[in-house]
Structure 1
Amino acid sequence: MTSIDPTARVEDGAVIGEGTTIGPYCVVGRDVVIGANCKLIAHAHVMGHTTVGDGCTVYPFASLGGAPQDLSYRGEPTRLQIGAGCTIREGVTMNVGTVKGGGLTRVGERGFFMNNSHVGHDCIVGNDVIFATSATLGGHCEIGDFVYIGGLSAVHQFARVGPQVMIGGVCGVRGDIIPYGLVNGQYARLEGLNIIGMKRRKFTRERLAAVRSFYQKLFEAPGVFSERLSTVQPLAASDPAIAEILQFIEAGKQRSLCLPSGRNAED
């Protein structure tokens, strides 16, 4: 049974799913669709052309579907789509997209967004992510599945973060981070592989050894990066994770690659 607190304001046109609870002083706009069995605890604001998937919980003072923080925006009916099973804690903000960015900000399923984290316009966020307190995405970022972003860390607009990446706290991410990468530092640098995360995804000892060996050849061996990259290309056939990393590097366009400290693309 749907329950709407008498102090909440749900505009005509909004669609509220079966079993959803809209708590005290929430505001839901006319173009919003909220799925079944969601819970807006109190004081949440969902606006714009926003869709919230089934089973999400939204805590007080979250603001979902607000206008993009982009000077080119002129009120176009762009969208925010949030997948099922997300937990959105206090003060989280997620903005709709922009026309020039494709018109859609998309957040996957089962995400856990801690207080004051932010998803900027036109971002594509995968499934099962964790954003710690005040983790922030600039516009047009791409975040893979099972990514962890540490507290007070910020990802530069147009940056890509591959799946199963772990970003430490208080990091400024200015470049693309390879799948399975572990980064840290004031300006994030690649420190190795997210071995703990890979073990949680059931990587065998043999697979871990193969990916580690590939990583060492690509990022730690002497010589020019482009030459090392060419040398390791045949290893793509040896493990799907290696192939995924190489495909990610090849697809890079907007931002440079995040590399280990003291290394650059010309070393």
Structure 2
Amino acid sequence: MSNVLEGKVALVTGGSRGIGAAVALRLAREGADVALTYEQRADRAADVVEQIKAVGRRALAMPVDSADADAMSGAVDRVAGEFGRLDILVNNAGVFLVGPVEELGPAEFERTVAVNVRAPFVASKAAARHMRESGRIINIGSNIAERAVFPGFALYAMSKTALVGLTKGLGRELGGRGVTVNLVNPGPTDTDANPADGPNAEMITGFTALGRYAAPADIAAAVAFLAGEDGGYVTGATINVDGGFTI
């Protein structure tokens, strides 16, 4: 455990499980107080909170539907108010709605765009009001944005590709304030939604250069780098943590 982020406050959306939970815990171990949002499984969110507190950091879990723009903005303001500041925002929450394009209707489209695109925009807009010099906004995308090897991913890939533009645009806009904005694209990662021992895991692994899935901690390590001082001269960048999936 280090104190690289001592005195910092972070908000991780979708932080109750998988990559989000790993990011929340890594930032806490680096010294940050951490708030997180979740939509379901309050028990898992509570468990992450307890783990954060166990390393001596303040923690807060908030039930938020990321598709609700007012709730998302309100969560950011609440963190800044209760913790006294906001230094790091990790836009991790997302939905994964896939299928043949003919079968994806307006409801799937609206939900995907609301959670995967609008929510990061809304949260970043709210965070920018509170961030000081050395603020960090880190978006979590997907390797699918750069290499869609399976059919049925058009909607999801579109939504994650939008984060490239958001990252670059905000990076330019907020750079003068000393706030960096970056994008991390995970590749196949061992989570509940895509387990490394799942039915398609062997085929998915075959697309990587390293021949294995990532652990959520691998993604969290990249986020921690960007959140800390060592990542202070990186902005508007996309970092693929995908085991060579997009080579």
Q: TM-score w.r.t. structure 2 length?
A: 0.23
Higher relative contact order (CA 8 A, sep 6+): 2
Q: Which has the larger radius of gyration?
A: 1
Q: Which has the higher helix share?
A: 2
Q: Which protein is richer in strand relative to its size?
A: 1
Please report the TM-score for the alignment, with normalisation by the length of structure 1: 0.22
